[in-house]
Amino acid sequence: MADRPRFGPAGVPPLFRILGAKLPDVPRLLREEGLDAFEYQAVRWGQKPQMRQEEAEKLGSEARKNDVLLSLHGTYYVNLCGKKEVVEASKRRLIACATAAQWMGAYVVVFHPGFYGRVEKSEAFGNCVKALKEVRSEMDSLGIGKVKLGPETMGRVFQVGTLDEIMTVCETVEQTQLVIDWSHLHARHLGRFRKADDFRVVVEEVERRLGTEVVRNMHCHFSKIEYTDKGERRHHILDEARYGPDFQMLAEVITDFDLRPVMICETPLLDIDAVKMRDMLGRVVKERQNGLTG
């Protein structure tokens, strides 16, 4: 949960790797760029953490030293609505991710809930909520109760993860963190965000259902995005004018509602575009202040 809007990349920026940086160097390098969040990518993990506890703890202590808030993107190999074996394996994978999140002090495990498959959408969703409640209670009994579960809004029509579904999960499962991927919502609804008011509607809906605290503390993903009639196709950099959504509009809404999101940049430029978004928000804040005093 952020004390101010925070910005950072989804994963280690390519340039850091070229410079030969190791994982524990990442928080310091981000801080040097003026960034203050980092989403560790555990996206191809199986049923065991694929990093050593010592390495995770080192990352965590460097992050705290450099005031970088950590989150962890859980494995893609999760389907909480499938067959029993699939759901059980998915639960173990999520718990492996949560275990590593605890080691590094990441506040949330972000994840993609699953796929509707051949069953009725409402039934698939019900299975997903049931499985998540089981994951939650197992996490609590393993002593990793502090890590939040962060179901994400998804960009394809066959994936569980409409805004309504994600909010319902947050209403029914303990210790959840709302994760809004704005680009996914844009793609799923074929270009939903065309003006600032389109963002405002989402923020107001979240506030109405989940309250002011939740809306102020959203965990967000952002990228320009290309889509087809099935939804999300490819991520693009912020400067690609052909694609939406436009971060400037979201920055206005963040300012108007005094939100403090953790904004994770998922464009191919990661940290460079995260800096760009931070600066766009900074300019809007300044304009608003000048507007009030001038």
Minimum separation from the CB atom of position 156 to Zn ion (A): 12
Rounded distance between C-alpha atoms, residue 288 and residue 207, angstroms:
22
Q: Report yes or no: 1 and 217 within 8 Å, Cβ to Cβ.
A: yes
Minimum separation from the CB atom of position 145 to Zn ion (A): 23
Residue with Cβ nearer Zn ion (62 or 232): 232
Interacting positions 150-209 with Zn ion (CB under 5 A): 152
Minimum separation from the CB atom of position 261 to Zn ion (A): 15
Q: Which of 98, 24, 33, 34 lies closest to 61, judged by CA?
A: 24
- What secondary structure does DSSP assign to 178-232, as a single string? -EEEHHHHHHHTTS--SSHHHHHHHHHHHHHHH-HHHHHT-EEEE-EEEEETTEE
Minimum separation from the CB atom of position 276 to Zn ion (A): 21
Residue with Cβ nearer Zn ion (78 or 167): 78
Interacting positions 21-60 with Zn ion (CB under 5 A): none
CA distances from 263 to 44, 210, 283 (A): 22, 19, 16
Q: Which two tokens stand for residue 289?
A: 């202040």
Q: Which of 177, 184, 9 lies closest to 98, judged by CA?
A: 177
* Chain residue whose CB lies nearest Zn ion: 152
Residue with Cβ nearer Zn ion (62 or 152): 152
Interacting positions 117-156 with Zn ion (CB under 5 A): 152
Q: How many residues bind Zn ion (CB under 5 A)?
A: 1
Minimum separation from the CB atom of position 111 to Zn ion (A): 8
Rounded distance between C-alpha atoms, residue 102 and residue 135, angstroms:
15
Residue with Cβ nearer Zn ion (91 or 221): 221
Rounded distance between C-alpha atoms, residue 232 and residue 226, angstroms:
6
Residue with Cβ nearer Zn ion (152 or 273): 152
Residue with Cβ nearer Zn ion (155 or 252): 155
Minimum separation from the CB atom of position 152 to Zn ion (A): 5
Which secondary structure element, helix H or strand E, spans residue 16, and what is its range?
helix 14-18
SS in 3 state form for 270-284?
Answer: CHHHHHHHHHHHHHH
Q: Which of 218, 235, 54, 71 lies closest to 147, judged by CA?
A: 71
3 state DSSP class of 34: coil
Residue with Cβ nearer Zn ion (68 or 108): 108
Minimum separation from the CB atom of position 215 to Zn ion (A): 20
Residue with Cβ nearer Zn ion (166 or 275): 166
Minimum separation from the CB atom of position 110 to Zn ion (A): 6
CA distances from 38 to 27, 64, 282 (A): 8, 11, 19
What is the contact surface with Zn ion in residues (CB under 5 A)?
A: 152
